[in-house]
């Protein structure tokens, strides 16, 4: 299953090393520039799950993967920490690994979409967001992110629908 310029989920063997590199890397396109920061209102799904520094979180993830190498949640958390450090390429790989382990992990699809968005790959971001919502239609932040992408694509009418859905879900959840 491919994500356009982002990468391919199931056509590679993955192995994380203590240095954060992945061997047997599939085809993956990553913009070699500094990652841009999310704009105001951009919803990261979900926020990092710990209050530790990214370095501590990364170390804890690698330690956890020694005993639980097939934990999609750990790979997602690793991706979040790597993203916080500006390591886009490694974060993408961690999210792809999470999806490879659990193709129905909506939050990993959403986070992969966030990475595509931050690199200006709007079509790939939409593909990831659509998959995330197909798996879990209650992710308000993903609707908000889709609205932002559609707005940037000049599709204001559609953007309004998704923004409304995000607001509806947000008000129902809290």
CATH 3.90.226.10 fits 52-103, yes or no: no
Structure-block tokens of residue 72: 């999609």
So what's the pLDDT on residue 99?
Answer: 98
CA distances in angstroms from 116 to 3, 16, 19, 36, 91, listed in the order given: 9, 21, 24, 11, 11
So what's the pLDDT on residue 174?
Answer: 61
So what's the pLDDT on residue 52?
Answer: 73
So what's the pLDDT on residue 142?
Answer: 97
So what's the pLDDT on residue 113?
Answer: 97
CATH class of 104-173: mainly alpha
Q: For 8, which DSSP code?
A: B
So what's the pLDDT on residue 22?
Answer: 34
Enumerate residue ranges in the chain where pLDDT < 50. Answer: 1-38, 40, 42, 44-49
Say yes or no: do domains 52-103 and 104-173 share a fold.
yes
Is the whole model's pTM more than 0.85, yes or no? no
What residue spans define the domains of the chain?
52-103, 104-173
């Amino acid at each position: 299953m491919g994500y356009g310029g982002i990468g391919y989920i199931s056509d590679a063997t993955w192995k994380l090393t203590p240095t954060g590199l992945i061997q047997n890397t599939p085809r993956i396109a990553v913009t070699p520039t500094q990652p841009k920061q999310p704009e105001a209102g951009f919803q990261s799904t979900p926020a990092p799950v710990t209050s530790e520094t990214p370095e501590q979180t990364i170390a804890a993830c690698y330690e956890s993967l020694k005993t639980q190498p097939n934990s999609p949640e750990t790979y997602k958390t690793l991706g979040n920490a790597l993203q916080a450090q500006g390591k886009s390429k490694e974060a993408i790989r961690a999210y792809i690994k999470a999806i490879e382990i659990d193709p129905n992990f909506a939050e990993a699809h959403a986070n992969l979409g966030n990475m595509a968005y931050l690199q200006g790959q709007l079509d790939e971001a939409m593909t990831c967001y659509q998959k995330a919502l197909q798996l879990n239609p209650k992710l308000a932040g993903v609707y908000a992110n889709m609205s932002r992408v559609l707005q940037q694509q000049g599709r204001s009418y559609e953007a309004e629908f998704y923004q409304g859905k995000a607001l509806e879900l947000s008000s129902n959840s809290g």
